[in-house]
Structure formats: C-alpha cells, structure tokens
Chains A and B, each alone.
Chain A
Amino acid sequence: MNWRMPAFARTTAFRLTLMAAGLFAVSSFVILALVYAYSVGAASRRADATIGQEVAAVEKRFAEGGPGLANRYILQRSVGGSEFLYLLVGPDGERMTGNISALPAVAPDEDGRIRFTYDRAPVDDEDGQNDAATGREARGRIAALPDGYALFVGLDVQEETRLVAGLLNAILVASGLALAFGIVSGVLVSRRFAARLESINAAARQVMTGKFATRAPRTHSGDDLDDLARHFNDMLDRVEHLMHRMRTAGDSIAHDLRLPLTRMRSRLETALVEGADKTDYEAALAQAVSDTDELLKTFNAVLSLTRLQTGERRQAFQTLDPAELLSDIAELYEPVCEDAGLEFSSELASGLTILGDRELIAQLVANLIDNAVKYAPAGEAICLRVRETGSGAVEISVTDTGPGIPAEDRVRVLERFVRLEESRNQPGVGLGLSLVQAIAEVHSAALSLDDGPGTDGAPGLRVALVFPQVK
C-alpha cells in the first residue's frame, strides 16, 4: 500500500468535518425516512378510508333494495370509467356485476384488505396521455353482504404510489447532497486548517535544522491556532534565552577557570624545574591544593547557579514566615557584624508570608550581609528589614552605610564574575550578587539596588527584594 492520502485528508480537521458531515447525512436521512414512512402510511390510510366509504355505500343500497339496487349502483358508478374497481359475487360464487372479471389472485389480510396490481384497458383521458395500463398499483377490500353475497371494492392508487416513490428519490438525493456538501466543506476547512498548522510545523522544522531565530507566523486573531503559534514562539524565546545563558555561563566558566589553572600550572612547573629541596616542593604542593580548593569552590558556585536558573527548585517551594527566616540569619550573622565593628540591627515585621525555599532565601540574605561585612568599614551600620509594601507585597532588604555601588555599575554587578575594580583585592570570585539575582529570579522577586542612607562620600547600599503576594 504505497498510496498515501492527500495532506488535507490526513488532518484532524478533515476527519472531524467528515464525521460531522456523515452524522448530518445520516440524521437527515433518518428524518426524511420518517417523513416517507408517514406519507406512505397516510396515503394507504386515505385510500382505505375511501374504499371503506364506497363499500358502505354499496352495503346501504344492498340493504335497501337487495342485490338489484346494489347492482344498479355499481353499474352507475362504473360507467365511463371509474377510479373504483367493483365485483359483486352471488351466493354461489358467480360474478353478478362489476368492472373486473375476477377477484385479484392475492390473499386478503385479516381485515379483508388486499394490495394488488391489475391491468386496465387503455383510456384516453383529458390530458391525452395514454397512461400505463398494465401493472397498476391498487388496494381493495372484500366485504361480506347478507344472503351469501360478497362485494369487492378496489381503488387505483397508482398516482399516490408514484408520488411516494418520487418522495423516496428526493430523500435519497437530499441525503447524498448533504454528505457531499459535508465532504466539500470538510476539504475546504481542513485545507485552511492544515495550511495554518503547516506554517507552525514548517517553523518547527526550521528550528530543528538549526535556524533558531525562526518563529511561527501569527494571525493575531486570538483563536486557538494563533494561541498555539504564540505559545510555540514564547517557548522558543525561553529556550533561546536559556541556551544563550548556558553559552554565556560556559564562556564565563572557561574565562574564569583558565587564569587560575594557568597560574597553578606555571607554579607547579616552576617548582619542578627550579625546586631545590623538599621545602620548595611542599610549598608548591600546598599552594596547588589551596588553588584547587578555590577552583572547586568557583566551579560549585557556577554549577549551583546554573542549576538554579533552570527553575527546578520551584517545585519544592513552601510558604514561609520571612521574619522567622531572617531572625535565624540575623542570629547567625549578628556576631560576625559586631566583630567587624559594624552596628547590626533588624526590623522584622511579623505575620507576613512568602512562597519560597528557606535554604535559598537564607543563602541570598547571607550573601548580602557577607558583602556588606566585606565592603563596609568598621563603624558603619547594617540593617536587615522585612516589611509589607503599600501594595501588600513582602519586601526583604539589607541596607548598609558603606561605600555603596555607583549607579552606573548596578546592572553590571549582577552579572557573573563581575567585580568592580575597587574590590579586586577582596577574596571572592564575583558570583555573590549573580547568585542573589538568580535566587530572586527563581522566586519571581524583584531585585533592586539603591543608595542607602549614607553620605555623599559613602552613599551606602540598599538591596531590596519584593516578593509577589501569596494568594
């Protein structure tokens, strides 16, 4: 079977339309069939009623004037061609009168009704047409009369039958047309649907071949297919963003690891070439071990940063009391600040709720305090604060009166491995704030860096996170 259905015929839309068309055709057929059955029944009933009246008329004459009167009545009615067929049979079975020679050779049903065909002598009626004279449809009834007489009255129903047969034809044609229209509209609808789907599929294929900038065309009609295209495009944007991030991360790691690795290698090489005694070697090895530790630390920080940015931690988020969380951190860091000669205070509004990961938020706040401790000279102050903003969101902030970060550098310091010139002599690899940024992002919290309450020389720094409201 190499034959394949044309593209539109394989679409869901086509199948659905076809199904709908089929259902429509079947149901219209059923409805029309009912009409037909009813019409047939009505025609037969009408014929039977007419026959019944005629039988009653003959019976009446018979009762009034015996066979003679009935005979005359029948003769009168049959002269000049009648729609009725009559046969009066005497007690001995002999034909008395009538316009047919014998009873039709069909057995009557329990009511004495007979359905039969008969041949008629050709008649030229007014329309001049010579109607078919043989095999005409007729219905009739045999009635018993007093004294052993029997009466047969028949009625020609050829016209009604033809009418009903015409109706049947019309029904079949109508059903066929309904089905055909259904198929045609199915083809039209599915062609259109298939074309739009194909445009999305084409975009997907382009992306698969590596043309990542391709996007599915939009109609902006807001219908389901347009929605699909929009989601498809949004998904690609997100994937592209993540890919870009990954590439940047890879570059940064390479960049940041190359320097210490090179330094370590040259130190070891120097020791190997110039090392005079055990002391030299030991010093070189000890240095190599501490270099390695530093490298591993960087490496781990980058790894957890990268893993964080995938957002998978979000699944384990819980509702937390920020005051409780921060008072734990405050308790951990207060002695550190005091030892560094910094005045530590905290203002923690209670009864608030945020959705997040305790460990990550603790790490974020710890990072900010670490930074403040690192850069603010003794005598300055640090304040940890939780409050509800005017709009009902929860804000966590760390404020210090230290040197601050110049406004023009505030975006840059959130990038990986960025360290401002002034801080080159401090330990660290420049991942602290990018980790803060990543943690804020995974919590959908808005991160902002502002001047603190300091002076011109030392404006201070206020790092604030606004968490979305918990519903």
Chain B
Amino acid sequence: MRLLIIEDDKDVASFMSRGMKEAGHVIDAAHDGETGLEMARNGGYDVLIVDRMLPKLDGLTVIETLRGEGDQTPVLILSALGEVDDRVQGLKAGGDDYLVKPYAFAELLARVEVLARRRDPDSVKTRLTVGTLDMDLLARTVRRDGEDILLQPREFRLLEFLMRNAGQVVTRTMLLEKVWDYHFDPQTNVIDVHISRLRSKIDKPFDAEMLHTVRGAGYRLSAP
C-alpha cells in the first residue's frame, strides 16, 4: 500500500520508511506541515502518518484541513503527548488512531495495516467469516466447523475485533484500547491471559491453529 509520512525528524522518518519498505509498502515522506498537506491533497495514499508537532503547519491543522476538504484517508497521529485529553483532541481533529512516542515499530506497522483495511465496509456486516470460523453479529453466536462455541461477552468482542482484522497483526496495546477501552500500560500480561482463554475455546478443540502469536508484535487470526 502507499503511505505518506509527515514527520519533521528526518532520522525517525527515514527509519520508518526503511521499515515500511521492508514490510512491502510504498512510502513518501514530508518534513513539514505545508509540504505534507500538499502531498496528501495530490492523493492516492492509503494511510497518512502525521506527527502532531510540525513546522509551518501543525499536524492537527493538516488533518482538519484535509477532513474539511472531504478527504477521508485514514490518519494515524504520532505524538509525544499521551494523556487522554491529547488523544481525544487528536481523534476530534479527524485522526483515526493515535500512537504515543516512543513506540515499537511493530506497533506502528500493525496499526497502519489495520487502518488501511478499515476502508472496507466491514462495520455494516452482520456476519464475519474467517476460514471455517463464523460469527453472527446479530444472534451473537460463533461457530467453527459448524460447531457452536460459547463465548463470554468480552471474549466475543475480542474475537470480533480479531476477525474484523483477520490476517493482520494486532498488538496487545491495540486490543486493550479497542476491546477494553483502556489506554494505560498494565504491568502484567492481562491480554495474553485473555487470548489464551479464547484460544482454548476456538482453537484447542480443533485440528488447526487459527490464532497465532507473532513474536515481538502481537497476535494474528487467520484461516488455517
């Protein structure tokens, strides 16, 4: 996919570019808000990665301007400000996700890839299917190979999120944010425990594993 990164720190930008290229993406970089806005307007990007503090035009203004012009390209905001208010401000300005510096590259990559896929009209679906795993969002039932699987409400939401992002890596932080709506960093491996519970229900009784652990990054649900 094509990405545009607007980030004034050239070292950080080139590090990101290299990583994204390795992951198979095409990436352009702008080092100030004005150039970034111009490049974003010319369009064709799948995701914009925008730093909050930029010379000439700050990140939030760039995003607000684009949204004002009807541009709906998904935007990931990078920021050194991590408090809840800052996050709310960023999302209000039209950002789709918010990542606090410093971050692991794997976290950034996972979030960008999930954002790029969000353009699919997934949210209006009433049924999610990954391989033989089948989720009915209205009846709130889950089946694998035609067998009913009983899930707790939170497990259901966790699986729903994984299925909506099937094939993508999702990080622990993303799960804590999107499924539990918490933005702090727990000291213990809470998410791992929930994943292993879910795994014991959707994977263990069956032959092939669908919920994979991606080392150093997070988890990925995919058809066996």
Query: Chain B residue with minimal CB distance to A303?
Result: B82
If A296-B102, A304-B83, A335-B194 touch, whether A362 touches B182 (CB-CB below 8 Å) is: yes
Indicate which residue in B82, B85, B154, B182 contacts A300 across the interface (CB closer than 8 Å): B82
Contact A335 B193 (CB under 8 A): yes
Indicate which residue in B82, B186, B189, B194 contacts A304 across the interface (CB closer than 8 Å): B82
C-alpha gap A313/B154 in the complex (Å): 29
Q: Among A105-113, A365-373, A393-401, which stretch is in contact with chain B?
A: A365-373
Determine whether A192 belongs to the interface, using a CB cutoff of 8 Å to chain B: no
Query: Chain B residue with minimal CB distance to A299?
Result: B102
If A300-B82, A304-B83, A328-B180 touch, whether A336 touches B188 (CB-CB below 8 Å) is: yes
Indicate which residue in A328, A359, A432 contacts B84 across the interface (CB closer than 8 Å): A359
Determine whether A392 belongs to the interface, using a CB cutoff of 8 Å to chain B: no
C-alpha gap A367/B154 in the complex (Å): 21
Contacts of B182 in A (CB 8 A): 332, 359, 362-363, 366
Contact A366 B154 (CB under 8 A): no
Contacts of A332 in B (CB 8 A): 180, 182, 190, 194
C-alpha gap A307/B100 in the complex (Å): 15
Determine whether B42 belongs to the interface, using a CB cutoff of 8 Å to chain A: no
Contacts of B84 in A (CB 8 A): 313, 316, 357, 359
Q: Convert A286-309 into 0s and 1s, putting 1 for each residue whose CB lies closer than 8 angstroms to a CB of B.
A: 000000010011001000100100
**Residues 55 to 90 of chain B near chain A (Cβ within 8 Å):** 82-85
User: Which of A313, A335, A367, A427 has most chain B Cβ within 10 Å?
Assistant: A335
C-alpha gap A363/B176 in the complex (Å): 12
Determine whether A331 belongs to the interface, using a CB cutoff of 8 Å to chain B: yes
User: Which of B180, B184, B194 has most chain A Cβ within 10 Å?
Assistant: B184
If A296-B102, A335-B194, A336-B193 touch, whether A359 touches B82 (CB-CB below 8 Å) is: no
Contact A373 B82 (CB under 8 A): no
Contacts of B204 in A (CB 8 A): none
C-alpha gap A428/B186 in the complex (Å): 11
Indicate which residue in B183, B187, B194 contacts A432 across the interface (CB closer than 8 Å): B187
Contacts of B188 in A (CB 8 A): 336, 370, 373-374
Determine whether A131 belongs to the interface, using a CB cutoff of 8 Å to chain B: no
Contact A362 B83 (CB under 8 A): no
Q: Convert B169-203 into 0s and 1s, putting 1 for each residue whose CB lies closer than 8 angstroms to a CB of A.
A: 00000000000101111111110011001000000
**Residues 271 to 326 of chain A near chain B (Cβ within 8 Å):** 293, 296-297, 300, 304, 307, 313, 316
**Residues 186 to 216 of chain A near chain B (Cβ within 8 Å):** none
Query: Chain B residue with minimal CB distance to A364?
Result: B184
Q: How far does the Cβ of A416 sit from chain B's closest Cβ, in whole Å?
A: 16
Total A-B residue contacts, Cβ distance less than 8 Å: 51
Contacts of A300 in B (CB 8 A): 82, 185
Contacts of A336 in B (CB 8 A): 188-190, 193
C-alpha gap A121/B85 in the complex (Å): 102
C-alpha gap A304/B193 in the complex (Å): 27
Which secondary structure characterizes the binding site on chain B?
loop
C-alpha gap A447/B154 in the complex (Å): 31
C-alpha gap A92/B216 in the complex (Å): 139
Contact A359 B184 (CB under 8 A): yes
If A335-B193, A336-B190, A339-B193 touch, whether A313 touches B184 (CB-CB below 8 Å) is: no
If A313-B83, A335-B193, A336-B193 touch, whether A297 touches B186 (CB-CB below 8 Å) is: no
Question: What's the tally of chain B residues with a CB closer than 8 Å to chain A?
Answer: 20
Contacts of A359 in B (CB 8 A): 84, 182-184
Contacts of A36 in B (CB 8 A): none
Query: Chain A residue with minimal CB distance to B182?
Result: A362
Contact B85 A316 (CB under 8 A): yes
Contact A370 B186 (CB under 8 A): yes
Query: Chain B residue with minimal CB distance to A338?
Result: B193
Query: Chain A residue with minimal CB distance to B189?
Result: A336
Q: How far does the Cβ of B157 sit from chain A's closest Cβ, in whole Å?
A: 11
Contacts of A313 in B (CB 8 A): 83-85
Query: Chain B residue with minimal CB distance to A431?
Result: B187
Contact B187 A374 (CB under 8 A): yes
Indicate which residue in B82, B104, B187, B194 contacts A428 across the interface (CB closer than 8 Å): B187
C-alpha gap A56/B157 in the complex (Å): 118
Q: How far does the Cβ of B198 sit from chain A's closest Cβ, in whole Å?
A: 10
Determine whether A29 belongs to the interface, using a CB cutoff of 8 Å to chain B: no
Contacts of B186 in A (CB 8 A): 366, 370
Contacts of B185 in A (CB 8 A): 297, 300
C-alpha gap A304/B85 in the complex (Å): 13
Contacts of B85 in A (CB 8 A): 313, 316
C-alpha gap A427/B187 in the complex (Å): 9
Q: How far does the Cβ of A95 sit from chain B's closest Cβ, in whole Å?
A: 106
Contact B190 A333 (CB under 8 A): yes
Query: Chain B residue with minimal CB distance to A334?
Result: B193
C-alpha gap A384/B193 in the complex (Å): 19
C-alpha gap A362/B194 in the complex (Å): 18
C-alpha gap A86/B84 in the complex (Å): 105
If A297-B185, A328-B180, A362-B182 touch, whether A307 touches B190 (CB-CB below 8 Å) is: no
21 contacts between A and B (CB under 8 A): A300-B82, A304-B82, A304-B83, A307-B83, A328-B180, A332-B180, A332-B190, A332-B194, A335-B194, A335-B197, A336-B189, A359-B84, A362-B182, A363-B182, A363-B184, A366-B184, A366-B186, A370-B187, A374-B187, A374-B188, A432-B187
9 A-B pairs closest in CB distance: A363-B184, A370-B187, A335-B193, A336-B193, A296-B102, A370-B188, A339-B193, A336-B190, A359-B84
**Which residues of chain A have a CB within 8 Å of any CB of chain B?**
293, 296-297, 300, 304, 307, 313, 316, 328, 331-333, 335-336, 339, 357, 359, 362-363, 366-367, 370, 373-374, 427-428, 432
